[in-house]
A = this chain, B = another copy of it.
Amino acid sequence: MAGRPREFDRDQALEKARDAFWTRGYEGTSMADLVSVLGLASPRIYAAFGSKEDLFREAVALYEANEGGFATRALAEEPTARRVIERMLREAVETYTRPGRPQGCMVVSAATNCAVENDSVLHWLAEHRLARTASIVERLKQGVRDGELKPDTDAEALGDYYATLMHGLSVQARDGVPKERLHALITVAMQSLDARLVQGF
C-alpha cells in the first residue's frame, strides 16, 4: 500500500529473464547480462525479484507454465498412453527447435555444470527432471492397467526410455540438429511403444 508505482512491466521483464536463462543457463547469465537484457538497473531487478536465484526460479516456473509444459499438458489432455507419449515427444521437438527462440529444454540445460555454491539450483532442476520421468512411468503403468499395453510390459523401463530420449532431444536441438531429423528419430522411437500395444484397444 502506498509508495511510488513500478515503472516497468514485471511480467515482461520476467519473460526476458526466462529467455536469457534459457539461452545461457543460470551461471552463464550474469547480472550485467540481465541488466542489459531487461533494460533495468540492478537495484530495480533486486527490488522486484529478490535475488538472481529467486529470479531464475521464477523464470523456470514461467517456462514450465508455458513452453516447457508440453509433458504436463499431454498427460492431462490425451486419452491414451500412446497419444501422450507421441504428443509429448513431438511438442518437445517443436519447442526445442522453434526458430528465433532459445533452443533445447531450459530444465535440461540451464544448470548442468554449476559451481559448488549453486548446487541447490542444480538439484532443484534435477528433481524436476526426475518428477517428469516418474509421471511418464506412472502414465505407462496406467496404460497397462487400462489394458492399452500388454500386461507383461515393463512400464518403468519404457518410461525411463522415453524420458531419456526427451532429455537427449534437448542436447541434439541445442547442437543444431534440424527438427526434421528429430521428428524422424521419434518415429523410430514410437515403434517400441507400438510393439507393446494391445490390438483393437
Shortest Cβ distance from residue A186 to the other chain B in the assembled complex, whole angstroms: 8
The complex places the Cα of A113 from the Cα of B122 at a distance, in Å, of: 12
Tell me if B25 and A28 are in contact (CB < 8 A): no
Give the secondary structure class of A's interface.
Answer: helix
Q: Which of A162-188 contact B (CB under 8 A)?
A: 163-172, 174-177, 181-182, 184-185, 187-188
Q: Does A161 contact B (CB under 8 A)?
A: yes
Residues of B near A156 (CB, < 8 A) are: 181, 184
Contacts of A175 in B (CB 8 A): 126, 129-130
A172–B163 touching, CB < 8 Å: yes
Number of copies: 2
Instruction: Report the separation of the CA atoms of residues A75 and B114 in the bound assembly, to the nearest whole angstrom.
Output: 33
Chain A 32-56, CB-CB to B under 8 Å as 1, else 0, gives 0000000000000000000000000
A191 proximal to B (CB < 8 A):
yes
Known: A171-B129, A171-B168, A188-B192. A177 touches B160 (CB 8 A): yes
Chain B positions within 8 Å of A112 at CB level: 25, 109, 112-113, 171, 174
Give Cα A167 to B174, complex, Å: 12
Q: List 17 A-B contacts (CB under 8 A).
A: A24-B114, A24-B115, A27-B113, A27-B115, A28-B114, A108-B171, A110-B113, A126-B174, A156-B184, A157-B184, A160-B182, A160-B185, A164-B168, A164-B185, A165-B168, A167-B171, A191-B192
Query: Which 7 pairs from chain A and chain B are nearest by CB?
Result: A25-B113, A168-B168, A164-B168, A157-B184, A167-B171, A167-B168, A161-B185
